[in-house]
């Protein structure tokens, strides 16, 4: 059995964020909907970042772009390392000269 629950649907998150913004307390929403108040707090914070109410973090779009760029960067590093190793195999060895 998995320890992790599947993510909540975006519409469900939006609805709970709306309820929290309408004045309901996070603890009452957490009890009613079976979500922890820490989770609700993070959803409200992220929604505030996405709508521009807060500026002390990354928006969802920025997080996705950052993840994509990190993945691309890792792939490019791996390709570079492979090419360096392949080039080192093809370069004839000259005594007294090191391969960079």
5-36: b or e for each residue (b if 16 or more CB lie within 10 Å)? eeeeeeeebeebbebbeeeeebeebbeeeebe
What tens digit of pLDDT does each residue of 32-78 get?
999 999 999 999 999 999 999 999 999 999 999 999 999 999 999 99
pLDDT tops 70 at residue 2: no
pTM of the model: 0.71
Output the average pLDDT for the chain: 91
Q: Give pLDDT, residue 90.
A: 82
Q: What is the 3-state secondary structure (H, E, C) of 20-77?
A: HHCCCCHHHHHHHHCCCHHHHHHHHHHHHHHHCCCCCCCCHHHHHHHHHHHHHHHHHH
- Cβ–Cβ under 8 Å, residues 99 and 91: yes
Confidence of residue 17 (pLDDT cuts 50, 70, 90): very high
Distance CA 10, CA 20 (A): 15
């Amino acid at each position: 059995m998995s320890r992790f629950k599947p993510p909540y649907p975006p519409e469900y998150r939006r609805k709970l964020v709306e309820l929290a913004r309408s004045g309901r307390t996070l603890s009452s929403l957490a009890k009613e909907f079976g979500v922890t108040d820490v989770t609700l707090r993070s959803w409200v914070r992220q929604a505030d970042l996405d709508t521009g109410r807060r500026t002390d973090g990354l928006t969802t779009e920025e997080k996705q772009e950052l993840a994509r760029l990190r993945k691309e960067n890792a792939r490019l590093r791996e390709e570079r390392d492979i090419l360096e190793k392949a080039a080192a195999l093809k370069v004839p060895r000259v005594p007294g000269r090191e391969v960079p």
